[in-house]
């Protein structure tokens, strides 16, 4: 038995934040039913990022979509149609959780907000994921992870000392919000088991990212200091940064947190005399002479392979890590040994590599049991077997265009 077996989740989420959160739940055994519309399928179905594979049903071949939507059933429902709303309410009636990451107005305009759905399922847990939260002056603002990143303050401390703010390499607000959403479902489900009561859960992308700026916010609140940009450097640790290694675009990250680690570092790279150099004896001295120190360290790293340099420093007790590309990750021996990437077969694309289960439980381990669904793949199972609709009623939904297995506008998707 899996940890979350018996928990049924209706997943209206799209793109990254919500689907990542529901993926965590599905990996650990929850029955996740992804609801899309043929008029507005998840936009990642048409996002041609590797390992997408061209083909006739291209909307079922998006590699990015596959990574986020394994272990889910797929059903299509047009929630603008009265029959689609009726079918959705019937689905909610047999569910535990509804989760969505639309702009705040969407579910309200459809007549499917928490108050409406609670009338159908009194102990329902509903999770909403608006970018700025369900209250406050910005609550109706649309948001993407790329805009939440700078608004949270994260971009203001990311970048080089003499450069402008820089956003993260990915839409960092999305995965953070996804983790919080999964955690919120678990907390609300635990509370419902104790009290029998459901509740509405408001997960803000903005607040999730602000939590990562704890030190910067505390420093301002206590000392009135506003953090600037340090590039790859650190306020206290030195040396601290990314250093070029041998080969094309190969790097190693090094972080030295104490004088003892500094001594170990110098011994590992064959420069014990640096521990007696007046410029580098103390942490304050190393900070004051950081440019020169970085130049000296890079004269050592540039002669070495980034993995070999990592091994040498780690064996000396120094925190160091080779900077890996996505290609490196798929073949790294540690990543492979822990099952962090796994090969999964999909009916449209064949075998491909997907991220493995992040949370590893000893008694109830999760896993990838099902590839991401093709659009509307499980319409008959979900609406017929689970909801209990007759074959005639399901056929009527198909004839009316409420359900389907292809986008209505393939040019847009």
Active site residues: 174
Q: Which helix (H) or strand (E) holds 375?
A: none
Helices (H) and strands (E) in the chain, counts: 17, 11
In the sheet that holds 319-322, the strands lie side by side as 240-244, 251-255, 319-322
Residue 254: DSSP 8-state: E
CA 279 to CA 83: how far, in whole Å? 76
Q: Could you tell me which residues come within 8 angstroms of residue 131 by beta carbon, excluding any fewer than 6 positions away?
A: 103, 141, 142, 143, 144, 147, 148, 173, 204, 205, 206
Grouping H, G, I as helix, E, B as strand and the rest as coil, residue 36 is strand
CA 30 to CA 366: how far, in whole Å? 10
Counting Cβ atoms within 10 Å, is residue 353 exposed (0-12), middle (13-18) or buried (19+)? middle
CA 130 to CA 126: how far, in whole Å? 13
The two tokens of residue 236 are: 């206290």
């Amino acid at each position: 038995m899996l940890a979350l077996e018996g928990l049924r989740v209706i997943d209206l989420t799209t793109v990254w934040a919500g689907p990542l959160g529901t993926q965590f739940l599905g990996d650990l055994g929850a029955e996740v039913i992804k609801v899309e519309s043929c008029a507005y399928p998840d936009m990642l179905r048409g996002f041609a990022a590797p390992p997408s594979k061209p083909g006739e049903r291209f909307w079922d071949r998006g590699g990015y979509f596959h990574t986020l939507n394994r272990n889910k059933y797929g059903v299509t429902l047009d929630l603008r149609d009265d029959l689609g709303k009726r079918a959705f309410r019937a689905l909610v009636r047999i569910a535990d959780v509804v989760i969505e990451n639309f702009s705040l107005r969407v579910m309200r305009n459809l007549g499917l907000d928490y108050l409406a759905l609670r009338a159908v399922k009194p102990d329902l847990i509903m999770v909403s994921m608006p970018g700025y939260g369900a209250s406050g002056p910005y609550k109706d603002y649309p948001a993407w992870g790329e805009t939440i990143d700078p608004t949270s303050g994260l971009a203001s401390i990311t970048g080089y000392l003499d450069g402008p703010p820089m956003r993260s390499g990915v839409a960092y607000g999305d995965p953070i919000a996804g983790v919080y959403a999964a955690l919120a479902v678990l907390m609300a489900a635990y509370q419902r088991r104790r009290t029998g009561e459901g509740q509405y859960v408001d997960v803000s992308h903005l607040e999730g990212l602000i939590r990562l700026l704890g030190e910067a916010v505390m420093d301002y609140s206590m000392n009135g200091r506003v953090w600037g940009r340090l590039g790859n450097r650190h306020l206290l640790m030195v040396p601290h940064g990314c250093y070029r290694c041998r080969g094309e675009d190969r790097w190693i990250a090094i972080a030295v947190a104490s004088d003892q680690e500094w001594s170990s570092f110098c011994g590992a790279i064959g420069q014990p005399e640096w521990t007696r150099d007046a410029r580098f004896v103390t942490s304050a001295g190393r900070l004051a002479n950081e440019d020169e120190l970085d130049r000296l360290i890079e004269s050592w790293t540039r002669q070495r392979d980034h993995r070999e340099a990592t091994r040498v420093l780690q064996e000396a007790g120094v925190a160091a890590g080779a900077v890996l590309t996505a290609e490196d990750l798929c073949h790294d021996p540690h990543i492979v040994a822990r099952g962090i990437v796994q090969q999964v077969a999909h009916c449209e694309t064949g075998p491909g590599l997907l991220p493995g289960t992040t949370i590893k439980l000893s008694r109830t381990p999760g896993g990838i049991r099902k590839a991401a669904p093709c659009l509307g793949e499980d319409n008959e199972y979900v609406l017929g077997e689970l909801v209990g609709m007759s074959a005639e009623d399901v056929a009527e939904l198909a004839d009316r265009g409420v359900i389907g297995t292809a986008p209505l506008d393939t040019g847009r998707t």
